């Protein structure tokens, strides 16, 4: 009887002990829920790149922000281009404070984005045909296939884009020769509008999106119809980082002694306007003596665009949005003339980065 009772007790206690032992053991990890297709597996995998065997990890790319970009022209006393200077030959000042040059390069080879502005007002009617031929010759010498682009704008009573950005010389040539003269002159409006267009030009493909922005103006400089003021047009050009090259069609010249060395009798009010546009933006004003000299003026512009320096620096003083900062670039070599834009307007952020042009 006692044996029977003992057996019954053991039978009763066995399930209880097994349950207790199961509670004491840690639960095995749950099996992962695998996606039903390989694409989902790849999507859930960590985004990690393994270093290939026997290949070191490349250094991180450093991006420099807050750069001010300058294109600088240097000439000697005879107006010959000087192209053999080094970074150590230059000093940059912003509002009188020396700045450290971060990037430097000789003979910039950036793609060109050119706005060609042709005065088609009544005042240039006798010279229009030659101006057209000279403009076409300029583009044929400057525009490089699959690299540079230009647009044509005419201005009389108002500016009008005749041909949008293109590298097709045939399209530009045809558009230039189709023009006729007549009406007033809205020069300031034309430069203002051209600057807006150049602030967002077609950019080259590839890692380096930098371009050289240029406005070439053929005019007598007399403005009688613009809605924008001269200062508005200059500010627009500075904001777009466009250098303005002007070619005067005025003929107020005086040849003294030697006819081959004429002297400008005086700068007309229109000439002064053209010179102001060029001086403020780092370009140059040309005053051809004869109408035939227009072609030489265009040739000089093309040569200058291939004989410049690239300089970039980070302003040392904090930027205040909309503030105008004066720029001065100097060289330690005596007898040289340095030209670049005279300043810039601080934006919400100065252009973000620049490639090393060395």
Q: Is the pLDDT of residue 218 over 50?
A: yes
Tell which wins on pLDDT, 29 or 72. 72
Give 238-284 pLDDT, tens digit per residue.
999 999 999 998 866 544 455 565 555 678 899 999 999 999 999 99
Strands 343-345 and 324-331, sheet pairing: antiparallel
CA distance 158 to 121: 10
The predicted model scores a pTM of 0.77
Q: How much is the pLDDT for 258? A: 55
Q: Are 72 and 340 in contact (CB under 8 A)?
A: yes
Quick check: 357 pLDDT over 50? no
Least confident of 36-40, 204-208, 268-272, 352-356: 36-40
Question: In whole angstroms, what is the distance from residue 275 CA to residue 287 CA?
Answer: 10
Give the rounded percent of residues in the chain with a pLDDT score beyond 70.
74
pLDDT over 70 (residue 132):
yes
Say yes or no to pLDDT of 136 above 70: yes
Q: May I ask the CATH class of domain 110-305?
A: alpha beta
Confidence of residue 183 (pLDDT cuts 50, 70, 90): very high
Quote the distance between the C-alpha of residue 170 and its chain's center.
Answer: 26
- For tokens 């003294």, what's the residue? 256
- How far is CA 111 from each of CA 149, 169, 290, 299, 306, rounded to the nearest angstrom? 8, 16, 32, 18, 11
165-171 long-range Cβ contacts below 8 angstroms, 24+ apart: 165/113, 165/197, 165/201, 165/202, 167/143, 169/139, 169/140, 169/143
DSSP for residue 157: S
Question: Could you give the angle at which helices 230-239 and 187-198 cross, rounded to 10 degrees?
Answer: 10
**Structural domain boundaries in the chain:** 63-108+321-358, 110-305
Side-chain-facing half-sphere of 275: CA atoms under 13 Å: 9
For the chain, give percent helix, strand, coil, nearest 5. Answer: 30, 25, 45
| pLDDT band of 34, cuts 50, 70, 90 | very low
| Residue 5 pLDDT greater than 70, yes or no | no
Distance CA 223, CA 189 (A): 9
**Whether the Cβ atoms of residue 157 and residue 225 lie closer than 8 Å to each other:** yes
Secondary structure, 3-state, 9-59: HHHHHHHHHHHHHHHHCCCCCCCCCCCCCHHHHHHHCCCCCCCCCCCCCCC
**Measured distance CA(165)–CA(111) in Å, rounded:** 13
* pLDDT on residue 264: 58
CA dihedral over 287, 290, 291, 294, signed as positive or negative: negative
Mean pLDDT of 30-51: 36
Judge contact between 3 and 9, C-beta under 8 A.
no
Q: pLDDT over 90 for what percent of the chain?
A: 59
């Amino acid at each position: 009887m006692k044996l029977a009772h003992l057996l019954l007790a053991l039978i009763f206690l066995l399930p209880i002990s097994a349950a207790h032992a199961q509670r004491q053991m840690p639960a095995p990890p749950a099996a992962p829920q695998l996606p039903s297709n390989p694409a989902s597996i790849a999507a859930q995998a960590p985004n990690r790149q393994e270093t290939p065997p026997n290949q070191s990890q490349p250094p991180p790319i450093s991006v420099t922000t807050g750069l001010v970009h300058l294109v600088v022209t240097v000439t000697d006393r005879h107006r010959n281009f000087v192209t053999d200077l080094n970074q150590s030959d230059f000093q940059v000042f912003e509002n009188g404070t020396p700045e450290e040059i971060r990037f430097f390069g000789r003979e910039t080879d950036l793609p060109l984005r050119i706005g060609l502005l042709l005065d088609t007002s009544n005042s240039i009617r006798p010279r229009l045909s030659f101006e057209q031929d000279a403009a076409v010759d300029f583009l044929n010498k400057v525009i490089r296939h699959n690299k540079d682009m230009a647009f044509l704008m005419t201005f009389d009573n108002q500016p009008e884009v005749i041909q949008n950005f293109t590298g097709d010389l045939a399209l530009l040539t045809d558009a230039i020769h189709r023009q006729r003269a007549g009406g007033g002159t809205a020069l300031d409006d034309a430069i203002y509008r051209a600057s807006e267009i150049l602030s967002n030009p077609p950019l080259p493909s590839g890692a380096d999106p930098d371009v050289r922005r240029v406005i070439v103006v053929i005019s007598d400089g007399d403005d009688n119809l613009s809605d924008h003021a001269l200062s508005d047009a200059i500010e627009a050009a500075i904001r777009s980082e466009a250098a303005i090259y002007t070619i005067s069609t005025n003929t107020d010249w005086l040849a003294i002694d030697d006819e081959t060395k004429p002297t400008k009798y005086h700068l007309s009010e229109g000439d002064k306007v053209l010179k102001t546009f060029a001086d403020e933006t780092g370009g140059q004003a040309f005053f051809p003596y004869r109408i035939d000299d227009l072609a030489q003026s265009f040739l000089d512009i093309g040569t200058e665009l291939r004989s410049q320096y690239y300089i970039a620096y980070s302003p040392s003083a904090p930027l205040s949005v909309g503030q105008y900062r004066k720029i001065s670039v100097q060289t330690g070599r005596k007898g040289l003339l340095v030209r670049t834009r005279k300043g810039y307007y601080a934006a919400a952020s100065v252009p973000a980065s620049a490639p090393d042009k060395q």
